[in-house]
Structure formats: structure tokens, C-alpha cells
Structure 1
Amino acid sequence: MDKNPDMYSQHISQQFNNELEEIKNQLLSMGGLVEKQVSDAMRALIDADSGLGKAVRRKDDDINQMELHIDEECTRILARRQPAAIDLRLVLACSKAATDLERVGDEAAKIARHAIKLTEEGEAPRGYIETRHIGSRVRRMIQDALTAFARFDPELAFRVAQEDKSVDLEYKTAMRELVTFMMEDPRSITRVLNIIWVLRSLERIGDHARNIAEHVIYLVKGQDVRYIGLKRMKEEVLKDNS
């Protein structure tokens, strides 16, 4: 498939073209900020940097405002332009993806909060290795999901969905190990619980990255691939719609 970043319709109205391009660019800008939030939250955790953790939490309001602005712009385009086909799917995908990005920002703020708590306790708990690894994987998922959106690339989007399944399995393994560790050493419970909540936030971030990837497939293929499983999703991605 030719991955053309300008695949949506071209209109007699240049203004309409500009509006569609603008909401897409706003979404990608929001995605860049959210991606940095996740990266900074994980760095605050690993480096025991409470100052960085507090900065991440303060930035959460900026992300919320970006979501509101994108949602307002999408609503305005729907009301004034009454888009159809690929244009309508682009507007809807941007609105839904903005919601997922806002929720990723919320999870980053939660990670930052737990990073601050762990820094104040002053002792690195069990689970940092697993947390660092899963954190790296979900950050790549966000990057790839946004790249897929920018390029209208359903095949890259599908790979994000595949990665989410792998992350879920790694998350479950890490959770079992940490629960066992707490049972063996009850003194560690408070510290390890903070790591468990971080892992839970990372798992949710992976879910939201997958959601964004599914929005890309819907945008390009016109097929809602939620809840259908990876096998059928792959069939839809590879289907020739021409």
C-alpha cells in the first residue's frame, strides 16, 4: 500500500483541506507531548528524581487543554463541513485518539506520583528491571502508533496491536513475581505496591497505544477492528480496498 500522508480527500475549498491538516497536526503535537510525559515519568522513577516527577504532574493540565481544543475543532468541522467517507473517519479518529492520548497523560501523572513516593522512601524496591523494560516497550508503542497515524500506515498500526499482546503477557509475569516477593517479605509491601501501580499504568498505556493503532486501521480501511482479535485484524489490514 502507498502510505501517503495526504490520503484524505482534496476539496475545492482549500480552507477545508487546511482544517483537516490542522487537526491532524494538533493531534501529533499532543502525542509528542504525551510521549515525553511518559518518558519523563519513567526517568523520574528510575533516577529517583522527585523534581522531574512533579514537573510531569504539572504538565498534565496542558495535555487536558490540548484534548479539549482538538475536540472542539472536530465538533466544529462536523457541524460546518458535514464531512463524508475518509474525511469523516479522519475527524472521528482524531477525536478518539485525542481521548486516548489524554488518558495516557493521566497514567504518566500517576507514574510520576508513585515515583515521588518511592523517592521519599529512599530505597529502590524490587521490580525496577521489569518496570524499565515494560516502560521502554510501551513508549515505543506510543511512538509507533503516532507514526502510523502520521503516515496512515495500517501495517505499522497492526504491529502495535501485536506488541500490546506481548506487553500484557510480560505484565502478568511481572505481577506474579512481585506478589510472590511481597508474600515472602511483608516488610516490602508498601514499596512494592507502588511498583505494582506503576506497572498497571504502563499496561494501560499499552492499551491506549493499541486503541490509537485501531483508530488508524479504521481511518485507512474503513473497518472497525475493535474486539475482533489479531487474526481477523490482520486480514482486514492486508485486504485490498482498491
Structure 2
Amino acid sequence: MQSDKHISKSFDQDLDEAIRLFLYMGDSAANQVTKAIHALIDKNEALAQEVIDMDFDINRMEVELDEHILLLVAKRQPAASDLRLVMSISKGVVDLERIGDEAVKIAQMASKISAQGKSSYGYAEVQHLSNQVRLMLHNALEAFSQSNAEQAFEVMRNDNVVNDEYQSAIRALMTYIMEDSRHVSKVINIMWILRALERIGDHAQNVAELVINYISGQDVRHSDYALVEKAVQEANDRLAARHVTAMSATDFESSDSDEE
């Protein structure tokens, strides 16, 4: 993830371990969401309970990563861009833990819905929204792993699409309730699942914002997209300039070697 290495190898190792733990926790939270949706669609109460039980592991990862970051800051005292990266991980951990919590809510609703009977009204909306939200989360974690500000910005823009589709799905379900009130309880549970998915999208957006923050050095929370795009472009320009400088230095060293 980090292209620049430091004089202290132990610092690099500690930082790499923090990144590894963060991405592992992210993958685990994403898997919990996937399992919770499968538990709903397949009416699998055992799988729903598995998601609920696994929340302990997500919480344990949060504690482990918090402790690792605390020791890293205390021992290594990172500065500038390294500190931004470390703090982004620290903040992102909170979002990942809350994604795990939302997965638990979905699993709990899945168990209730399974006990309420066969009607699968609203499942299409849930599946469609969950596909988009899980892709957002995957792309946010990938952007973090690859230090890709452009991909992170795309995740931020996709959050608007998710919000619009969430509102559309809620309106459709409200219409269904007004037309047939026999399944009010079940439809309300579906609405809670849609709400949980929308919140997962928000947390994925938060992770994407942290990626842009540690790369660009600018806090883009609550910013206009034009300002975010400018920050991303400036970060890309700096990276390109550094790449050219590094290539020039390599060419110079190679020229000196040929002359010898």
C-alpha cells in the first residue's frame, strides 16, 4: 500500500500490520452483510444466528486494532502523511464495526420474517439495494488498499444513487401496505432491512472519504463534490510529479553507472 519505505523497518512492519488488520476486519464485516442477506432470501435461521454470533469477532477485531494503533502512535510517533493514514485507520474501524452491527440487525429481521410466513414481497428491492451497497463497500476497501483516490471518489458519488433507490423502495413498500394491510408487520421489517443497507452505504462512503483525506491531506467530509474532485486531482498531480522525479533520479543514476 505504501510506496515509500522508512528508515525504521519496525515502523513499516507495524504500519503494514495495522493496514492488514483493517482490511481483514473490512472483509469480515462485508461477509457478515452477505450472509445476513442470504439468511433473509433463503429463510435460513441458522445462518442468521451465525451472523449474530459472529458479531463478537468483529468487536474483538475492533479492540485489537485500537490497541495496535495506540501502541504504534505511542512508540513510533508518526508524522505528516503517516499520521493521517494511521488516524484514517482509527476512524475507519468505527465504521467497520457499525457495518457489523447493521449486519446483525438484518439477520435479526431475517429471523423474524422467516417466522412470519412465506410472503417474499420486498425481497427484490432488498437484493437490488444490497448488491449496490456491497459493491460500494468492496470498492471503498479496495480504494483503501490501493491508495486510489479516484475509486474512493466514485464510491462517494454512488452513495447518492443508493439513497435515491432506498427512498424509491420505501415508497413502493408504503404503497403495498396501503393496498394490502395483511402483511404490515412483515413489510415494516423489510423496511428496517432497507434502512440498515442504506446505513451500510453511508459507512462505506465514510471509509472512502478517509481514503481521500490521507492521500490528499484534505478533510472532504460534508464537502461539495466539485471540491472533492479538485482535491483528488491535486493529489493525483502530486503523485505523478513524484513519479517523474523518481524516474529522473533513476535515469541519472543509470547514466553515472554507464560513464564509470
Q: Is the pair's TM-score, using the shorter chain for normalization, greater than 0.5?
A: yes
Counterpart of 2:165 in structure 1 is 170
User: How many angstroms apart in 2 are the aligned matches of 1:69 and 1:92?
Assistant: 15
TM-aligned CA deviation for residue 75 of structure 1: 1.2
How far apart are the structure 1 equivalents of 2:111 and 2:185?
14
In structure 2, distance between residues paired with 1:177 and 1:221: 41
Per-residue CA distance 1:179-200 (angstroms, 9 max, x = gap): 1211222211100000000000
Q: Structure 1: which amino acid aligns with 2:189?
A: N
Partner of 1:49: 44
**Contact kept in structure 2, 1:125 and 1:192, CA below 8 Å:** no
What is the root-mean-square deviation in Å for CA atoms of aligned residues?
1.0
Q: Distance in 1 between matches of 2:154 and 2:6?
A: 32
Percent identical residues: 45
Partner of 1:155: 150
In structure 2, the residue corresponding to 1:80 is in which secondary structure?
helix
Structure 1 CA distance for aligned equivalents of residues 152 and 134 of structure 2:
14
1:23 Cα deviation after fit: 0.2
Q: Which residue of 2 aligns with 1:78?
A: 73
Q: CA deviation at 1:143?
A: 0.6
Shift in Å at residue 231 of structure 1?
2.3
Per-residue CA deviations over 1:60-112 (Å, capped at 9, x if unaligned) read 01000101111111111112211111110111011111110000000000000
Q: Which residue of 2 aligns with 1:140?
A: 135
Match of 2:222 among 220, 227, 231: 227
For residues 2-81 of structure 1, the aligned pairs below 5 Å read 5-7=1-3, 9-81=4-76
Shift, 1:124, TM fit: 2.5
Which runs of no fewer than 5 residues in structure 2 stay unpaired? 242-260
- 1:205-220 to structure 2, matched below 5 A, reads 205-220=200-215
Shift of 1:51: 0.6
Q: Deviation string for 1:158-204 (max 9, x for gaps)?
A: 11011111000000011111112112222111000000000000000
TM superposition shift of 1:10: 2.1
**Structure 2: distance between partners of 1:198 and 1:229:** 29
User: Is 1:88 equivalent to 2:95 in the alignment?
Assistant: no
AA aligned to 1:6 is Q
What corresponds to 2:258 in structure 1?
none
Structure showing greater radius of gyration is 2
CA contact (8 A) 1:138 1:205 kept: yes
Q: Which residue of 2 aligns with 1:111?
A: 106
- What 5-or-longer segments of structure 1 have no aligned partner? none
SS at match of 1:226: coil
Q: Is the 1:42–1:132 Cα contact (8 Å) retained in structure 2?
A: yes
Q: What is the one-letter code of the residue matched to 2:225? A: L
Alignment deviations for residues 109-129 of structure 1 (CA, whole Å, 9 cap, x no partner): 000000011111122342111
Return 232-241 or 163-172, whichever deviates more. 232-241
Moved over 4 A (4+): none
CA deviation map 1:120-151 (0-9, x unaligned): 11223421111100000001111100000000
Q: Distance in 1 between matches of 2:74 and 2:228?
A: 32
